[in-house]
A and B are shown apart, each in its own frame.
Chain A
């Protein structure tokens, strides 16, 4: 039995409880009564994958169906991978400890570009052919992917049978239902794929043919076998009615988000022009306070967690945020539960809200200012004024906080040296503000942490057309910022620009990148998002060998009328809107949030109703 072989070596590796299952809340079924088996794979370590809310939702949802069994699977750490390879242990799912190669569906959630090589590594560990074209003609082992990265899945097209666009709660079951129906009829893989591509939200990449022009741009995207020309993403219309788990799998080892997580809203009203999530998850939909409280309570009771976090792109944009927090706090305080609030925006951070958060815990405050000057913040449509930032910091300092963390991006469209120096100046003014406040925290100095990421233009954002700043430009900006910071009260940290460069190539790339990813993996690339595992030199070799020019994808402006690799995918936001927003950005003009005024992104037409 696989379990015995695993156990024989389990004590040789770090945190072995990650590899053996048996956690509270994990769902065990009788194999003999199961019609469709789904391996939900997260292409990163257990500690990260187990924190992912989407997996928790789809895991519970699928398992509600008596005859379907969804199990979890993660990328093993380096030590355990060595054990697996040395002892011929195939990649297995944690509930049954059965090899995932025997499953009907092997589903990956693609959350970030730097996890792509892990997919190949996991398929290889599982003993599943890495290229979709090499898989059996029988109806089994369907390799699918969903998640935000599949809004441009082309760099992964050769490895997957199916991509699922948008929210999975309905479409996953529709796909499994079709599979089961066709399995009973003895259909082939090809038969199934041809029918599957008729389900809205299901994209079968091999039914689409890409031709390229001499200049390297896409000439034509052609749908074959009567597959739909355009594939539309799926959304859930009513968040109060959609399934939400009442229980989570509770891990033994500590994970990144080790708490109950309640989704409060989907989508975002803000329209920050760099933010992919802000566009691909539209329309904005809220859950009612009662639903949120009910879900929080049952999750706490069933899991035993004593901490809740509210999950969304911008929790404070919930229209009932005050009554919601009041009601939640009534419950959490009486049950000695911690309530943590991520994703709070600077501008609507009111005094009363801060009072409520203070009741819960006193940790650092983090603000995403993104740009150092008002002009640049207007370009990116981060509708936050310096006055608002200062006001929020004042409230925070008066409330006893003495450290503030500020997030910025470097290499934003139209950015100049002035904008970089502006980051340091903004931080300086926050320090001055601190010392001007009479009732500031005594006995403590103020600490401003500046964290700078390199801007990565992403598909389905108004900045999808933008080039990324070259490494030389980024290095210049970093040096300039360091020069401009003249006090130890400000700490500066950066992301590795090489990582951001790879990220943009994989985000905006097309099918010609499949062979690069394969080649990089062959050279040993995996866990690229982990600093200690990231080998940019190997990636560069892979690009070189495959004859791919990095700057074509990373540093080139994509034309408005160019066919983009994701033009056949419909995420409800129209390309016309994105072009309009791009032009507005270059005029340093802002667009109001969706609640103030509809800016005509096109989502309401697709959904068939107004957003507000």
Chain B
């Protein structure tokens, strides 16, 4: 049995595949590829595969992680090609390799997104003001109810630029088994500080990282 870690892209129309649907979709992709995927043993055997992180509906990604096991030793490139041959449109395996790091070492993810508005200038100021705040409070739904959380200490703005009529932002947000934030929290916080109407476009997860900013692989 070999343990495999695939990195895949999810973009274009594939961004409308929900996480739950992605599970089913991958199962069928494996079956179409006829790769000898390893099944769990026990009363109800099922093919074993798991996604490192869930991706919100509507988000694109260039770095989704999928772990699975094969019962035969097959070259990584062949695994990649066989999967890509039968992947749905918008999904593409970019890399197949060994599982180097433990899932628990995932600490953060890098996202990019753009804000589009008819009043870009004013919105840009509002964004900068928000970033400059000492704390950014948002209401987060948890199992126990709604909780007010300060996301400022956990987020890191990498860039925030005005490009043509849009504001392009890249940001680190915590990800993994402990805390998971996604860019919609930032957008929510922004909406609370400004009345300017804007759309959020092209939300994309660019990288999944460990605590030391090294790429998770």
Contacts and interface: CB of A to CB of B under 8 A. Distances in A.
Interface of A: 8, 10-11, 15-17, 20-24, 250, 252-254, 300-306, 336
A306 B27 contact: yes
A8 B200 CA distance: 10
Given A17-B18, A20-B16, A21-B13, A304 B57 contact: no
B3 interface: no
14 contacts: A8-B199, A11-B16, A15-B18, A16-B57, A22-B89, A22-B90, A23-B88, A24-B86, A252-B24, A252-B25, A252-B88, A304-B30, A305-B28, A306-B31
Contacts, number: 63
Nearest to B17: A252
Given A11-B57, A11-B58, A22 B13 contact: yes
Contacts of B13: 17, 20-22
B28 A303 contact: yes
Interface string B58-77: 10000000000000000000
Given A23-B88, A24-B88, A16 B16 contact: yes
A8 B45 CA distance: 41
Given A24-B89, A304-B27, 14 more contacts: A10-B16, A11-B16, A22-B88, A24-B29, A252-B25, A252-B88, A253-B18, A254-B21, A301-B34, A303-B28, A304-B29, A304-B31, A305-B28, A336-B45
Contacts of B14: 22
Contacts of A11: 16, 57-58
Interface in B42-94: 45, 57-58, 86, 88-90
> Which of A8, A250, A252, A303 lies at the interface centre, i.e. has the most chain B CB atoms within 10 A of its CB?
A252
A253 B14 CA distance: 12
A17 B27 CA distance: 18
A338 B146 CA distance: 43
A302 B32 contact: yes
B28 A24 contact: yes
B86 to A, nearest CB: 7
Nearest to A23: B88
B181 interface: no
A300 B30 CA distance: 12
Contacts of A22: 12-14, 88-90
Contact of A250 (B18, B28, B57, B90): B28
A336 B31 CA distance: 10
Contacts of A253: 18, 21
A265 B88 CA distance: 32
A336 B86 CA distance: 20
Given A252-B88, A336-B39, A301 B17 contact: no
Contacts of A20: 13, 16
Contacts of B34: 301
A300 B32 CA distance: 8
A303 B17 contact: no
B16 A303 contact: no
B73 to A, nearest CB: 21
A256 to B, nearest CB: 14
Interface string B8-20: 0000111011100
A336 B46 CA distance: 9
A23 B18 CA distance: 13
A581 B32 CA distance: 50
A239 to B, nearest CB: 27
A21 B16 CA distance: 10
B70 to A, nearest CB: 15
Contacts of B16: 10-11, 16-17, 20, 252
Q: Which 10 interchain pairs have the tightest Cβ spacing?
A: A304-B28, A304-B31, A22-B13, A304-B32, A17-B16, A16-B16, A11-B58, A22-B89, A252-B21, A252-B17
A10 B59 CA distance: 12
A11 B58 CA distance: 7
Contacts of B199: 8
B90 to A, nearest CB: 7
Interface string B178-196: 0000000000000000000
A11 B18 CA distance: 11
Nearest to B33: A304
